[in-house]
Structure 1
């Protein structure tokens, strides 16, 4: 099942070569996947906690440059009682529109890339105004992550590698999350971004926003 959790606006030219400066809406989506390992969420989308994390500067710049509208209930609210069944959350990457609802699932295992994790928890990166500015420029709001993430994290790169068949060209390698889910690296947009092959679907988060981007190469 796929869910919208709101959207932000940003110039069209940011995602489409030759696009205009007009504002375009970019919905934040999440997917609820029932698979052999249980119930998994692919990202958590927006939540009111996003605005709480943007109350002060420099984080406030995030909300100013990508104005957010919560046009839909949070994924926790949409799932209702079924939210208690979520035992895994797969984070494609750590931009705020993908993790704002993460704290609503305090008992779920969190699956993410080690590269994304190291971006946050590098021992040589103390919390400072300079580093906070760098994080905001890279689309990250530290306040959205639960404090116990280090204890709940499970790294994609530690999972069994799998060779993809020609149907997935040009992607050649993935990591087996479970018998029926495969994570695939999608570098370029954010540190440690991964997509997820789930049956007939390839969930790619922000690797591409419009089909025209693919068809025009």
Structure 2
């Protein structure tokens, strides 16, 4: 399957050294919304959707505090739908949206693909959409799915994948696209694994925020680590899953490329490794 790496939302919080680990504390940091566009046997699939057109048209719905802290560029050209169109496709060609979770900077593009099936872990849907499990106040932007998309749920059970349990495939037509439970950031947070040739890509979502967190000697810049802890729904589970990701990288890094949603280093490395053309993540 052909895979495109997209940045669907550049964010520029203040304090580059404390967020990116380089530069000055007075510079703007650079963060991305790293999504995948996959050419599958059943049309196009997006892994996460980033910030959407409706978010850009009405930034307050993202939350004034979140916008103030992250300082997103809110550029329509960075949205997934505009990048899909720039590649020569239409929004109707996108048949599947595979969401690592439903936080605002991952689910904003859902309404830009109203006919796509939205794949999430059932526990994520229960909290964010059905509200059968109380969500932290202000955690989710429910307007991002008010149009009533067609949901597809993944729950407990499933197969093993490099030691990860409960793995589920997108379907019989796509056995090489897998949902990997990586709970902790949210209760239904998952990674998405995609076979590319004889190797795998693992989009780990927000299971970690900084490339140094899955190195042999883990590290994370101060402010980024503080934000990660505040966003945790189950910190112990998130830390456990980071340890499993470190083991996966150490033992199978030649077969599995792991990256997260917001680290520009991960994003740039993926694009460089696949010699991908097109716009790179904008500098802040």
TM-score normalized by the length of structure 2? 0.61
Alignment partner of 1:198: what SS?
strand
Alignment partner of 1:175: what SS?
strand
Correspondence list, 1:42-61, <5 A = 42-52=47-57, 54-55=59-60, 59-61=63-65
Q: Is the 8 A contact 1:42 1:92 kept in 2?
A: yes
Q: Distance in 1 between matches of 2:36 and 2:206?
A: 14
Correspondence list, 1:67-106, <5 A = 67-71=71-75, 72-80=77-85, 81-106=89-114
Provide the residue aligned with 2:69 in structure 1. 65
Q: Is the 8 A contact 1:113 1:194 kept in 2?
A: yes
Structure 1 residues 51 and 73, CA gap change in structure 2 (3 angstroms): closer
Please state how far the C-alpha of 1:7 moved relative to its aligned partner: 1.6
Of the three residues 6, 10, 14, the one matched with 2:9 is: 6
Structure 1 unmatched ranges of 5 or more: 126-130
Alignment partner of 1:191: what SS?
coil
Correspondence list, 1:13-52, <5 A = 13=18, 23-52=28-57
The root-mean-square deviation of aligned C-alpha atoms, in Å, is 2.8
Correspondence list, 1:68-217, <5 A = 68-71=72-75, 72-80=77-85, 81-120=89-128, 121-123=130-132, 134-136=136-138, 138=139, 140-149=140-149, 152-157=150-155, 161-164=158-161, 168-169=162-163, 171-178=164-171, 179-199=175-195, 200-215=200-215, 216-217=217-218
TM-score normalized by the length of structure 1? 0.78
Provide the residue aligned with 1:128 in structure 2. none
Alignment partner of 2:186: what SS?
coil
Please state how far the C-alpha of 1:43 moved relative to its aligned partner: 0.8
Please state how far the C-alpha of 1:86 moved relative to its aligned partner: 1.0
Structure 1 residues 45 and 23, CA gap change in structure 2 (3 angstroms): same
Q: Deviations over 1:100-132 (max 9, x none)?
A: 11101111111001111111222576xxxxx7x
Q: Distance in 2 between matches of 1:3 and 1:53?
A: 22
Q: Is the 8 A contact 2:123 2:155 kept in 1?
A: no
Q: Is the 8 A contact 1:186 1:195 kept in 2?
A: yes
Q: Distance in 1 between matches of 2:58 and 2:144?
A: 7
